[in-house]
Amino acid sequence: MSRLLFSLFLALAALPLAADEVAVAPAVDAGRLPPLGAAWLAANPYRQQPAAGDAVAIGHDAYNQACARCHGADAATNAAPAPDLRKLDRACRRIADPELKAWCQRDNDAYFAKTVRRGKIILGVTHMPPWEGVLAQELAWAIQLFVESRAR
């Protein structure tokens, strides 16, 4: 009996942590962005698209709902518990050659998408939950554009 109570106590004590690691979809309408279909693209399709003019604002909203609690509100700090996402494309931004820059961005986009879809599960510990099936890829790419717009 006491063992059962102890297990119950452990389960309850672990609850808040577990809840923290769950990916919760932001209440943002992905339909305001040009639709991309179910299969994830390899690179950010909105970067060169004038039709995605609202993407940065929509991405800002989605970021604050889904990512900010770990990566920092408004992507405006490097003091959050999770990495400062503004630094992700820093190397690409420094490249002057347009072709090399585009290649670098494609590589960075692939890493961004892979990380968001799979999350970061290291040695069985969830550092970041997987967003596949929770976050529409339209919102993920918009979030990336927002974060890049914050970079200096």
CA distance 128 to 9: 25
* Total Cβ atoms within 10 A of residue 135: 22
- Helix, strand, coil percent values for the chain (each to nearest 5): 55, 5, 40
Q: Which of 112, 137, 138, 141 binds ligand HEC (CB under 6 A)?
A: 112
Query: Binding mask 125-144 vs ligand HEC (x if CB under 6 A, - otherwise)?
Result: --xx--x---x-------x-
Q: How far is the CB of 32 from ligand HEC (least distance, A)?
A: 17
Site string for ligand HEC, 51-90 (x = CB under 6 A): ---------------xx-xxx----------xx-x--x--
Both tokens assigned to 141 = 């790419």
**146 near ligand HEC, rule: CB under 6 A:** no
